[in-house]
């Protein structure tokens, strides 16, 4: 993936079709992030569909500006009920 800035990458998170938040990742830095959303978004009778959108990513044909390759690596993903 290529992004237009070396500063970081924005990731939008959608659960079962509802946008639940955004995360900002800094290049070269590991981080632990979380998003809290209403339990009603989960459909308890079906699998949960989680989508990650990287709106700042451009293809290699995106123009002459310098770009830096980067990626977002998920090492764990948990849906945890909050009291």
Where residue 3 falls among pLDDT bands split at 50, 70, 90? very low
DSSP characters over the chain: -EES-TTEEEEEEEETTEEEEEEEEETT----------GGGS-TTS---EEEE-TT-B-TTS-SS--EE-----S--------
Question: What is the predicted pLDDT for the residue at 77?
Answer: 80
Question: What is the predicted pLDDT for the residue at 58?
Answer: 61
Where residue 70 falls among pLDDT bands split at 50, 70, 90? low
Phi, psi of 15, deg, nearest 5: -120, 125
pTM over 0.85, yes/no: no
Task: Name the one residue in this structure whose structure tokens are 């459909």.
Answer: 43
């Amino acid at each position: 993936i290529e992004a237009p800035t070396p500063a970081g990458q924005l990731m939008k998170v959608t659960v079962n079709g509802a946008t639940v938040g955004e995360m900002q990742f800094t290049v070269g830095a590991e981080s632990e992030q979380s998003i809290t959303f209403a339990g009603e978004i989960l459909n308890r009778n079906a699998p949960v569909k989680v989508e990650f959108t990287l709106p700042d990513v451009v293809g290699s044909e995106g123009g002459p500006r310098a770009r830096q390759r980067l990626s977002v690596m998920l090492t764990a993903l948990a849906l945890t009920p909050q009291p």
